[in-house]
C-alpha cells in the first residue's frame, strides 16, 4: 500500500515539507482553480508538478504528483445538456495531457450538484477536538425551512420532520446562516460555493434527470472516456456518493456494491475502476467495506481510508478517528493486502495501491489554524500513523 497525501496547492495550510515529514510517499492533487468543462493545459499541469517536487526552500522534495483528484465532471455532462459534448472532448483532451506528463491514476465523481455534504464542519468531540458531521435533523431543517424546496415535506419521513422542526425552532439566525453556508460551500481548494438561488436552479435542472437516467448518462460518459484512458494507459476510478443516499431528491448512483458492479460492467476495461472510500460508503450500515474490497479488488485503483461513527437510525454520523468508527479498518486493510498479493502473483504493475488518510479530526495545533475543512495537518498525520501501524502489523503476521 502506497501512502499518499491530498494537497490543495500553494494556498494549502499544509506545506510540501509537512507532507514529506508526515510520511507521504506521493501526492494527490488537482488543478482546482480550473472550472469543470475546461481542458487542462500542459503548462498548468507542469506547474503543479513542479510545486510538488520542491520544498519551501526550493530544494527537491522527492515527492511526485501521483493521483489526480479530481478531474471534475461538469453538470452539463451529468445532465447531457448545454455544452456536454464539448466538455467530454475537453475531459478526454485533459486525459491525454495528463498521460503525457506521467500521471496514471485519475479520480472523479458523478455526484449531482453537491459533493461531500456536511451540516457541521467543526463538531466538538469529547476529547476537545473537532470533526465534520452530518446531522440528519439539521439537514432536513435546511431543506424544509431554509431552502424551502417544494417537495421537502413529502420526501422527509414523519419522525425526521418532527425532529427537524424542533431543531429549526431552537436555532438562532446565526445558526441558520452557518448551516446554509456549510451546505452550499464549494469544495476545499476548488470553485466557490453556491447561493441558495443557484442551488434551487440546479435542483430544477435535475427534475428531468431521474435515477435511471443519471445511470444511463454515467454509462454514456464511460463509453466515451474509458477507451481513451485505456489507450493512454490510465486508470480511472470513480468516487462514491457522500453520503451514500439521495439528498434534496437528487439522484445518487454510486452508493452500494450493486452500483459499483453496474459501473465496472458498463465498460469492461482495466481502465474503468473504483475509488474505494471507506468513509463515504461506511455511512451506510449495509455496506461491508472488507467484502466490497474483496469483490471489487481487481478494479480498485485508489483508496480513501477514513472512518465514520453512525449516530442514529436517521442517517446522522460524524468523522471518527481512523480506527474508532463503525468500519472494521483492520479487516478492510487485510482485504487490500490480499488484493495486492494477488496482483503481484499476476505480475500487475499496479500491485501497490495508493491510499491516503482521508479527512481527519482537528486536534492539537490544528485547532488554531484555519485549514481546509476535513484536511487538518495533525489529525491526518495521526490517521496515517494509525493506518501504517495496522499495515505493518498485518504484514508482519503474514511473514511469520
Q: Of the candidates 71, 67, 70, which has an alpha carbon nearest to the alpha carbon of residue 28? A: 67
Peptide bond just before 59 cis, omega within 30 deg: no
Whether 329 contacts 305, CB under 8 Å = yes
Q: For residue 205, what are the contacts with CB-CB under 8 A and spacing of at least 6?
A: 75, 79, 81
- Other CB atoms within 10 Å distance of the CB of residue 103: 20
Say how far apart CA 207 and CA 215 lie, in whole Å: 15
Is 107 annotated in the active site? no
- Which position among 239, 301, 318, 322 bears the catalytic label? 239
| Active-site pick, 304, 318, 322, 366 | 304
Rounded alpha-carbon distances, angstroms, from residue 298 to 3, 266, 294, 311, 352? 19, 16, 9, 33, 12
DSSP string, 353-386: -EEEE-S--B-GGGGGS-PPTT--HHHHHHHHHH
Does the annotation mark 375 as catalytic?
yes
Catalytic option among 135, 143, 242, 358 = 358
At what angle are helices 257-266 and 289-296 packed, to 10 degrees?
20
Q: Would you call 277 a catalytic residue per the annotation?
A: yes
Catalytically annotated residue among 107, 237, 238, 277: 277
Choose the catalytic residue: 241, 318, 359, 362: 359
Which residue in the block uniquely carries the three cell numbers 448551516?
A: 179
358 is an active site residue: yes
> By CB neighbour count within 10 A (0-12 exposed, 13-18 middle, 19+ buried), where does 155 fall?
middle
Catalytic residue, candidates 108, 206, 260, 375: 375
Positions annotated as catalytic residues are: 239, 277, 304, 358-359, 375
Amino acid at each position: 500500500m502506497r501512502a499518499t497525501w491530498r494537497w490543495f496547492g500553494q494556498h494549502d495550510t499544509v506545506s510540501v515539507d509537512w507532507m514529506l515529514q508526515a510520511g507521504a510517499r506521493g501526492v494527490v492533487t488537482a488543478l482546482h482553480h480550473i472550472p469543470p468543462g475546461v481542458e487542462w493545459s500542459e503548462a498548468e499541469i507542469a506547474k503543479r508538478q513542479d510545486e510538488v517536487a520542491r520544498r519551501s526552500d526550493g530544494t527537491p522534495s522527492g515527492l511526485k504528483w501521483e493521483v489526480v483528484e479530481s478531474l471534475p465532471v461538469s453538470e452539463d455532462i451529468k445532465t447531457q445538456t448545454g455544452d456536454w459534448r464539448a466538455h467530454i472532448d475537453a475531459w478526454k483532451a485533459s486525459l491525454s495531457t495528463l498521460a503525457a506528463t506521467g500521471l496514471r491514476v485519475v479520480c472523479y465523481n458523478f455526484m449531482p450538484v453537491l459533493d461531500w455534504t456536511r451540516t457541521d464542519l467543526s463538531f466538538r468531540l469529547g476529547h476537545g477536538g473537532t470533526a465534520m458531521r452530518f446531522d440528519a435533523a439539521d439537514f432536513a431543517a435546511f431543506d424544509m425551512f431554509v431552502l424551502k424546496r417544494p417537495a421537502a415535506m413529502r420526501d422527509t419521513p414523519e419522525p425526521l420532520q418532527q425532529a427537524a422542526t424542533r431543531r429549526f425552532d431552537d436555532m438562532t439566525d446565526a445558526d441558520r446562516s452557518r448551516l446554509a453556508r456549510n451546505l452550499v460551500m464549494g469544495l476545499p481548494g476548488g470553485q466557490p460555493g453556491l447561493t441558495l438561488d443557484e442551488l434551487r436552479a440546479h435542483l430544477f435542472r435535475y427534475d428531468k434527470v431521474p435515477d435511471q437516467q443519471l445511470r444511463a448518462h454515467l454509462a454514456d460518459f464511460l463509453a466515451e472516456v474509458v477507451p481513451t484512458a485505456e489507450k493512454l494507459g490510465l486508470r480511472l476510478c470513480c468516487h462514491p456518493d457522500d453520503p451514500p443516499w439521495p439528498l434534496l431528491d437528487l439522484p445518487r448512483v454510486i452508493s452500494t456494491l450493486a452500483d459499483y458492479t453496474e459501473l465496472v460492467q458498463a465498460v469492461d476495461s482495466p481502465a474503468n475502476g473504483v475509488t474505494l472510500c471507506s468513509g463515504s460508503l461506511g455511512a451506510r450500515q449495509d455496506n461491508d467495506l472488507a467484502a466490497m474490497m474483496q469483490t471489487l479488488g481487481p478494479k480498485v485503483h485508489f483508496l480513501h481510508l477514513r472512518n465514520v461513527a453512525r449516530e442514529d437510525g436517521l442517517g446522522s454520523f460524524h468523522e471518527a478517528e481512523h480506527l474508532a468508527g463503525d468500519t472494521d479498518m483492520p479487516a478492510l486493510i487485510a482485504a487490500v493486502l490480499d488484493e495486492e498479493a494477488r496482483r503481484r502473483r499476476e505480475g500487475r504493475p499496479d500491485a501497490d495501491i495508493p491510499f491516503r488518510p482521508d479527512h481527519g479530526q482537528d486536534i492539537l495545533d490544528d485547532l488554531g489554524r484555519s485549514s481546509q475543512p476535513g484536511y487538518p495537518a495533525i489529525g491526518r498525520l495521526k490517521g496515517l500513523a494509525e493506518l501504517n501501524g495496522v499495515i505493518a502489523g498485518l504484514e508482519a503476521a503474514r511473514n511469520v
